[in-house]
C-alpha cells in the first residue's frame, strides 16, 4: 500500500488549487472596497451573490471533513443509510426556499438572533446568540478543524497540529475578506470538491472490480451490492446495530425533519448565504444546492462502502491501515483510499478535501463573527460602534475563535464516536427547542416570548434528560414499539437521538401553545409577523426543479429501501 506522502506532482496540483482560490479571492476582495468598512457587505455580501454562487457556497460550507471523513466512516460501518442526511436535505431545501426565505427577506432579517429579537424580545435573542456561539465554536468549528487536520495528516504524513494550524490559517485568509470573497471562492472550492471527490469514488469502485478479477466502475458497484448487501438499505430495522443512529422510518417522517429544517432554515451558518439576495435569486440558489445534495452520497458514502468491501475481503494491508492501535477506526476509510490514488490524482483529491474543510471553516467563522459583532458587541457592549469598528471586531473574532478551536479540539472525544455522528448528536440537544421557537414564531402570531423561552431552555433540559434517562430507568419495554434500542457500548436500552429530537420538539410545541393561549394579551400580539399566502408562491422554473428533485428522491428510496 502506498505510504502517507505526496508526490511532487501532487504538490504541484495542490499549488494550482491554492493559487487559483487565493488569487480569485484577492481579486474579489479588491473589486469592491466597500466590504472593508460596510458591515452588511462584509457579513452578507448584500446583493452581490448570484444564484449559482449561493448554491455553491451552501454546499461548500456544508460539505466538509465531517462528510468526507465522518460520513465515509459511517458508510464503512453502517452503509448507504447515512445518505439520508444528504438526500433528506435536498427535500428540506425546497421547504426552506418556499416557506422560510420569504419571511426572512420580507422582514429584512440578517441574523437569526435579529429575528428572535424582532419576533420575541432582546432577552431571548441574546441567550440564543450565546447558545449558537458556543455550539458553533465548541462543536462545529472545532470538529471540522479536528477531522480536517486528521485527514490531511493521514494523507500527507505531516504533523497533526501543523496541519490544523495550516488549515486554520488558510481559512482565516479567506474569511477576513468577507462574505463576498467566501461566496465566490466557494464556487471554485465546490469545483475541486466534486472533481476530486468523483476521482476518489472512481478509484474506489475500480479497486473493488480489480480485487475480484474484473474491471469497470459499474461492475465495481455491482460487486459492492453483492458482497455488502446489508450496506445498501436506507431504512434500518430494529435489530440493526446502528438503529440508535438511524431509527427506521424516523428518517423519513420523524426527527430527521427536525435535524434538517433546523440546520437549513434556522442556522446562521447556512441561511446567511441567501439573506443578502432577492427572493427569486435566493430560491434558485437553494434549488441548485438541492440538486448538488443528491450527488453528495456518490462522493462521500460510496467510497466508505467500497473501503468496507476491500477491508472485509483482505485487500492487501488495507486492514492494518484502517486500524488505530488495535481498534478499527472507520473514519480512516477515506484517507486510506486517498493514499491509493496515483500521483496527480492524489493531489487533486487532496485539494478537494482541503477545499471542503477550508470552505466550511471560513463559512462557520464568518457566521460566528456575524452573530458576535452584530448581536453581542453592537447591541450590548458598544451601541455607538460605527461600521468600520464592527468589521474590525468581526475580523478579530475570526482569528480568536480559530485559536480556541485549535486549543480545545483534542479534548472533546471527537474521534471516539465518529466525527459525523458526534456533530449530529450534540447539535441535536439544541435543535428541537430552537426549531419549535422558529416554526411557531413564523406561522402563529399568538406565540409569546415566555413560550419561546420555555422551548429554548426547556428543550435543552429535556434533551439532556432523555439522553441520560437510561441510567435511571430501564427502557427495554419501549424497544417493542421501536422507541429504544440496545447500545452495545453502554449495554443500556436508549432512545435514538433522532427520536429524542422528535419527542422534545412535540413537547416544546405543546408547551408553547399552552403558555401562549393562557396569556390573554397574545390575542393581539404586536410581535406577530405579517404574512400572506402570495409570498410563498414559487415561480414555474422553481416548481419544475422541485418536482424533479422530489421524483428522484422517491426513486432512490424505493430502490434502496
What DSSP string runs through 257-271?
A: HHHHHHHHHS-HHHH
Residues 144 and 259 in one domain: yes
Q: Cα separation of 334 and 481, whole Å? A: 36
Question: CA-to-CA distance for 521 and 511, rounded, in angstroms?
Answer: 17
Which of 393, 427, 461 is the last residue in one of the domains? 427
SS3 306: helix
Choosing from 371, 404, 427, the residue where a domain stops is 427
R_g (Cα) of the chain, nearest Å: 23
Closest to 93 in 3D by CA, of 561, 553, 511, 560: 553
Q: Is 354 within the bounds of a domain?
A: yes
The number of domains in the chain is: 2
Cβ proximity of 385 and 393 under 8 Å: yes
398 occurs within a structural domain? yes
**Torsion-angle region of 418 (φ positive above 0: left; ψ -120 to 50: alpha; else: beta):** left
- Indicate if 52 and 200 belong to the same structural domain: yes
Instruction: Report the alpha-carbon distance of residue 81 to residue 110 in Å, rounded.
Output: 35
Q: Measuring CA to CA, which residue among 193, 210, 228 is closest to residue 560?
A: 228
**Nearest of 393, 345, 347, 388 to residue 369 by alpha carbon:** 393
Same structural domain, 464 and 419: no
Helix axis angle, 122-134 to 112-119, nearest 10°:
160
- Could you say which of 375, 392, 427 is where a domain stops? 427
CA 308/CA 304 separation, integer angstroms? 6
Cβ(48)–Cβ(385) below 8 Å: no
What percent of the chain is helix, strand and coil (3-state, nearest 5)?
Answer: 75, 0, 25
| C-alpha span between 105 and 444 (Å, rounded) | 18
Phi first, then psi: what are they for 328, rounded to 5°?
-70, 130
264: how many CB neighbours lie within 10 A of its CB?
26
pLDDT digits (tens), the chain, 561 positions: 444 567 888 888 888 887 887 777 777 666 655 445 555 555 555 556 788 888 887 887 777 766 777 788 888 888 899 999 999 999 999 999 999 888 888 877 777 888 888 888 888 888 888 888 888 888 778 888 887 887 788 777 788 888 888 888 888 877 776 666 666 677 777 777 788 788 889 888 988 898 888 888 889 899 999 988 889 999 988 888 888 888 888 888 888 898 889 888 887 766 666 766 788 888 998 999 999 999 999 988 999 999 888 888 876 666 666 776 667 778 778 877 877 778 777 787 778 777 778 877 887 888 888 888 888 888 888 777 777 788 888 888 888 988 988 888 776 665 555 555 666 667 778 889 989 998 998 888 889 999 999 998 999 899 888 888 888 887 777 777 767 777 777 778 888 888 888 999 999 999 999 999 998 877 777 777 767 777 888 889 999 999 999 999 999 999 998
Instruction: With respect to residue 555, please indicate whether it lies within any of the assigned structural domains.
Output: no
Let me know if residue 558 belongs to a domain. Answer: no
409 and 439, same domain (yes or no): no
Beta strands in 53-150 (DSSP E): none
Residues 333 and 437 both lie in one domain:
no
Whether 547 is covered by a domain: the verdict is no
76 Cβ contact partners less than 8 Å away, ≥ 6 residues apart:
304, 305, 307, 308, 311, 330, 333
State whether the Cα torsion 204-205-210-216 is positive or negative.
negative
473 plus 395 within the same structural domain:
no
Residue 178's domain comprises 8-29+46-427
Q: Does any domain span residue 234?
A: yes
CB distance 279 to 122 below 8 Å: no
198 in a structural domain = yes
Q: Specify whether 384 is located in the same domain as 419.
A: yes
Could you tell me the three cell numbers for 288? 441548485
The strand ranges marked E within 273-383 are: 323-324, 327-328
Q: Are residues 198 and 150 in the same domain?
A: yes
CATH classification at residue 92: 1.20.1730.10
- 268 and 323 housed in the same domain: yes
Cβ contact 132:371 at 8 Å:
yes
The answer to whether residue 442 is domain-embedded is: yes
- Judgement on whether residues 107 and 229 belong to the same structural domain of the protein: yes
Residues 410 and 438 occupy one common structural domain:
no
* Cα gap 554→268, rounded to integer Å: 30
Phi, psi of 204 (to 5 degrees): -60, -45
Backbone angles phi, psi at 494, to 5 degrees: -125, 155
Taking the model in full, what pTM does it have? 0.83
423 and 515 share a domain?
no
Amino acid at each position: 500500500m502506498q505510504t502517507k506522502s505526496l508526490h511532487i506532482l501532487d504538490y504541484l496540483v495542490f499549488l494550482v488549487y491554492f493559487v487559483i482560490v487565493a488569487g480569485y479571492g484577492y481579486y474579489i476582495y479588491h473589486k469592491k472596497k466597500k466590504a472593508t468598512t460596510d458591515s452588511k457587505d462584509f457579513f452578507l455580501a448584500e446583493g452581490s451573490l448570484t444564484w449559482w454562487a449561493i448554491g455553491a457556497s451552501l454546499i461548500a460550507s456544508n460539505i466538509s471533513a465531517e462528510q468526507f471523513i465522518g460520513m465515509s466512516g459511517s458508510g464503512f460501518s453502517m452503509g448507504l443509510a447515512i445518505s439520508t442526511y444528504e438526500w433528506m436535505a435536498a427535500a428540506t431545501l425546497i421547504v426552506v426556499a418556499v416557506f422560510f426565505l420569504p419571511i426572512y427577506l420580507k422582514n429584512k432579517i440578517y441574523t437569526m438572533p435579529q429575528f428572535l429579537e424582532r419576533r420575541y424580545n432582546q432577552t431571548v435573542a441574546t441567550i440564543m446568540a450565546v447558545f449558537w456561539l458556543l455550539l458553533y465554536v465548541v462543536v462545529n468549528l472545532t470538529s471540522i478543524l479536528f477531522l480536517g487536520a486528521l485527514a490531511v495528516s493521514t494523507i500527507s504524513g505531516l504533523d497533526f497540529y501543523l496541519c490544523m494550524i495550516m488549515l486554520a490559517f488558510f481559512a482565516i485568509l479567506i474569511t477576513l475578506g468577507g462574505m463576498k470573497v467566501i461566496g465566490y471562492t466557494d464556487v471554485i472550492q465546490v469545483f475541486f470538491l466534486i472533481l476530486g471527490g468523483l476521482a476518489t469514488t472512481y478509484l474506489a469502485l475500480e479497486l473493488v472490480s480489480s480485487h475480484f478479477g474484473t474491471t469497470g466502475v459499474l461492475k465495481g458497484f455491482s460487486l459492492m451490492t453483492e458482497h455488502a448487501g446489508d450496506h445498501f438499505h436506507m431504512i434500518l430495522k430494529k435489530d440493526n446495530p446502528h438503529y440508535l443512529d438511524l431509527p427506521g422510518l424516523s428518517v423519513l417522517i420523524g426527527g430527521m425533519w427536525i435535524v434538517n429544517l433546523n440546520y437549513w432554515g434556522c442556522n446562521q451558518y447556512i441561511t446567511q448565504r441567501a439573506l443578502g439576495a432577492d427572493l427569486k435569486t435566493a430560491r434558485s440558489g437553494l434549488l441548485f444546492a438541492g440538486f448538488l445534495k443528491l450527488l453528495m452520497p456518490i462522493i462521500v458514502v460510496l467510497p466508505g462502502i467500497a473501503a468496507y468491501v476491500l477491508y472485509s475481503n483482505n485487500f492487501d494491508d488495507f486492514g492494518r491501515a484502517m486500524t488505530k492501535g488495535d481498534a478499527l477506526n472507520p473514519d480512516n476509510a477515506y484517507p486510506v483510499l486517498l493514499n491509493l490514488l496515483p500521483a496527480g490524482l492524489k493531489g487533486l483529491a487532496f485539494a478537494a478535501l482541503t477545499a471542503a474543510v477550508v470552505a466550511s471553516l471560513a463559512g462557520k467563522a464568518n457566521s460566528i463573527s456575524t452573530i458576535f459583532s452584530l448581536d453581542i458587541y453592537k447591541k450590548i457592549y458598544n451601541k455607538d460602534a460605527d461600521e468600520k469598528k464592527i468589521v474590525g471586531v468581526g475580523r478579530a473574532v475570526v482569528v480568536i475563535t480559530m485559536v480556541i478551536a485549535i486549543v480545545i479540539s483534542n479534548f472533546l472525544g471527537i474521534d471516539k464516536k465518529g466525527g459525523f455522528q458526534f456533530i449530529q448528536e450534540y447539535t441535536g440537544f439544541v435543535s428541537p427547542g430552537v426549531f419549535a421557537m422558529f416554526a411557531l414564531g413564523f406561522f402563529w402570531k399568538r406565540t409569546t416570548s415566555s413560550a419561546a423561552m420555555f422551548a429554548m431552555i426547556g428543550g435543552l433540559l429535556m434533551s439532556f434528560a432523555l439522553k441520560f434517562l437510561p441510567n435511571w430507568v430501564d427502557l427495554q419495554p419501549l424497544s417493542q414499539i421501536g422507541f429504544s434500542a440496545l447500545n452495545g457500548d453502554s449495554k443500556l436500552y436508549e432512545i435514538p437521538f433522532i427520536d429524542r429530537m422528535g419527542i422534545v420538539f412535540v413537547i416544546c410545541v405543546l408547551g408553547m401553545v399552552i403558555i401562549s393561549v393562557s396569556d390573554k394579551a397574545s390575542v393581539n400580539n404586536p410581535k406577530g409577523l405579517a404574512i400572506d399566502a402570495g409570498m410563498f408562491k414559487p415561480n414555474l422554473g422553481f416548481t419544475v426543479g422541485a418536482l424533479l428533485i422530489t421524483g428522484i428522491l422517491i426513486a432512490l428510496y424505493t430502490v434502496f429501501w
